[in-house]
A and B are shown apart, each in its own frame.
Chain A
């Protein structure tokens, strides 16, 4: 009885949560007449692919995809390098000022670059980097979050393994490569998924720092695209554009669902 009531509530909620996605998908295949006229919006009687063709022709989505890819993976690759070195230092070395440096790193968890919109814009303009993909990436090349996440994992590597590899004549980077990095594979995957989805979604910073299509990511492109077609008659096209932007993330999510969920879980246990 108890169970039944609660499950009914949860199933209803689940349907309510799912409707926006379903609706956007259906609208993207609807003609403008149906978008405005039909009284049951979760059904399309004459599905059309025209909205996708129009959206694709109205904005350079291919360039936006390419830019997002370059930005997201440009950030990730450098991050993997910096967090590995940083995490190794904090996990396995003793040095002067370790605690002070640790606290300084902690600061980035609270004051994330996306808050420092204006001062960071000024720095980029001093560096002559305004309107470049590099400027979108640079503030994120260090990740305190990544360092802390990885440090926890590195700490769990048995010290004996480290010593054994040294006795075998490994240099520190060989130990790092053969002992630490392989043992932290799940953490790397978790970090990569969180980083990619976060930067794929980032909007404010790229909006400010880019002003040409050659450097704009999908999110900024979509926002500008959507704003030029505000009337209901063009919803089909805007929803088609929205589907184009969200579908890579949704497809990735549905394929790697388990990893996604466990990554987000992982990232919470700091």
Chain B
């Protein structure tokens, strides 16, 4: 037997043992992933083709989907999600970048300011909802009292279809900007210093430096934070439970909260399953888009 054969044989027998060893190490994680991620995902897909009460489920093909997709409330909820993303993501990203660029400089008070922007991140969203509910209350809320000082009487922010979404968007910007600022601070610290030195030597103006150096170099951070922000917009709905219950007339309802209502208020399982499948597809496409398309574009 020559040497190469010997080693390949050894490698094979070793690899069987190593395979088993690796599987055993992954087993604990895999049990929980299977039970609470893979199986429920498949179950939602399966259940989305059935309708009727839990005990007498009947196969109904795509009927549930048709029903959901033509439902006016569903359309409104999806539209709300889009408005919510357009309202929160660009503003909080821009604000986070702006703050990070200025607070990255080592100056007196910049640590204190960073804290002021970051602390909302560590407060549970449900507690944030309590605080902002009182801020938005008409007549004796904080905002109302502030406006009264100028002789104005603010509207009922949360009770009004035209203002409730703006109120939510402002609150989420307050909660998330500091979180995104942290990623930009990390991104800024990885930027090459010599490029800046060269630019300053050439006499570039601060805004030119931002436009031609900082902004493009921060693009990978921006895209990463954008993905996080968009997926968060679909996941964070706790505040609706306290502040509006999705109302008035579904004006502030979002997809995950709509699922909660369908499943646990109306006990409409088929509808909840279809909505869950929609949410899964949305989240998978956002991440797939990131991995397949954006990742390639930004790692030049």
Contact = CB atoms under 8 A, between A and B. Distances in A.
Interface in A1-48: 2, 6-7, 10-11, 13-15, 17-21, 23-24, 27, 35-36, 39-41
Contacts of A120: 36, 40
B229 interface: no
A117 B39 contact: no
Interface stretch (A160-168, A178-186, A200-208): A200-208
Contacts of B286: 110
A201 B40 contact: no
A13 B99 contact: yes
Interface residues of B, number: 90
Contacts of A118: 44, 259, 263-264, 269, 272-273, 276
Given A107-B37, A109-B287, 19 more contacts: A14-B113, A17-B116, A17-B117, A20-B131, A81-B28, A104-B33, A104-B38, A105-B33, A108-B37, A110-B283, A116-B40, A147-B29, A203-B126, A235-B134, A238-B130, A242-B127, A242-B131, A261-B114, A265-B186
Contacts of B121: 264
Contacts, number: 253
A130 interface: no
B242 A142 contact: no
Contact of B116 (A14, A89, A117): A14
A49 to B, nearest CB: 20
A53 interface: no
Q: Is the interface of B mostly helix, strand, loop or mixed?
A: helix
Contact of A203 (B23, B123, B238): B238
A246 B44 contact: no
A14 B102 CA distance: 12
B41 interface: yes
A208 B183 contact: no
Contacts of A36: 140
A10 B33 contact: no
A11 B102 CA distance: 11
B26 interface: yes
Contacts of B269: 118
B25 interface: yes
B15 A94 contact: yes
Interface in B19-68: 19, 21-23, 25-26, 28-33, 35-41, 43-44, 47
A35 B140 contact: yes
A142 B140 contact: no
Interface of A: 2, 6-7, 10-11, 13-15, 17-21, 23-24, 27, 35-36, 39-41, 81-83, 85-86, 88-90, 93-96, 98, 101, 104-105, 107-123, 138-139, 141-144, 147, 172, 197, 200-204, 207-208, 219, 222-223, 226-227, 232, 235, 238-239, 242, 245-246, 249-250, 252-254, 257, 260-261, 264-265, 268-269
Contacts of A265: 182-183, 185-186
A interface: dominant SS: helix
B18 A94 contact: yes
Contacts of A24: 131, 134
6 cross-chain pairs, A with B, having the tightest CB-CB distances, nearest first: A119-B40, A201-B124, A142-B32, A95-B22, A139-B36, A89-B25
A250 B112 CA distance: 14
A261 B124 contact: no
Contact of B32 (A82, A202, A261): A82
A113 B125 CA distance: 18
Interface of B: 15, 18-19, 21-23, 25-26, 28-33, 35-41, 43-44, 47, 95, 99, 102-103, 109, 112-127, 130-135, 137, 140, 142, 145, 148-149, 174, 177-179, 182-183, 185-186, 206, 224-225, 228, 231, 235, 237-238, 241-242, 256, 259-260, 263-264, 269, 272-273, 276, 279-280, 283-284, 286-287
A204 B41 contact: no
A179 B263 CA distance: 48
27 contacts: A10-B99, A10-B102, A10-B113, A14-B116, A17-B116, A18-B116, A20-B120, A20-B135, A41-B142, A85-B29, A86-B28, A89-B25, A95-B15, A95-B18, A105-B29, A118-B259, A118-B269, A122-B40, A139-B32, A139-B36, A143-B29, A208-B264, A238-B130, A239-B134, A264-B121, A264-B183, A268-B228
A261 B118 contact: yes
Contacts of A108: 33, 37
B122 A253 contact: yes
A13 B112 CA distance: 13
Contacts of B29: 82-83, 85-86, 105, 142-144, 147
